[in-house]
Amino acid sequence: MSKTTSLLFALSIGIPFTAMADVTLQIPEGVDILAINSQQPEKSVGLFASDEETLKDGLNQIVFKYSPSFMVGTDLKQAYSDVYVVKLNAKDTELSFKLPDYRSVNEAKEHIENMQWSLVDKQGHNVVVAQDKLKKNGIQIGRDYVAEIKEYNLNGGIAAMNSALVIADQDHVATTVVSNSTQVNKAPVVNTTVSNLNQLKAWYKKSSEQERKAFRKWIVDQE
Span 21-79, pLDDT tens digits: 699 999 999 999 999 999 999 887 776 778 999 999 999 999 999 999 999 999 999 99
CA 50, distance to chain mean position in Å, is: 18
- C-alpha angle 45/47/54, rounded to 5°? 35
Most confident of 94-98, 132-136, 175-179: 94-98
Given this model, what pLDDT does residue 49 score?
A: 78
Measure the CA–CA gap between 29 and 69, rounded to whole angstroms. 9
- pLDDT reading at 197 higher than 60: yes
Instruction: Give the pLDDT band of residue 167 (cuts 50, 70, 90).
Output: very low
What does the pLDDT read at residue 44? 78
Burial class for 60, CB neighbours closer than 10 Å (0-12, 13-18, 19+): buried
Decide if 65 contacts 81 (C-beta within 8 A).
yes
Give percent of the chain above pLDDT 70: 64
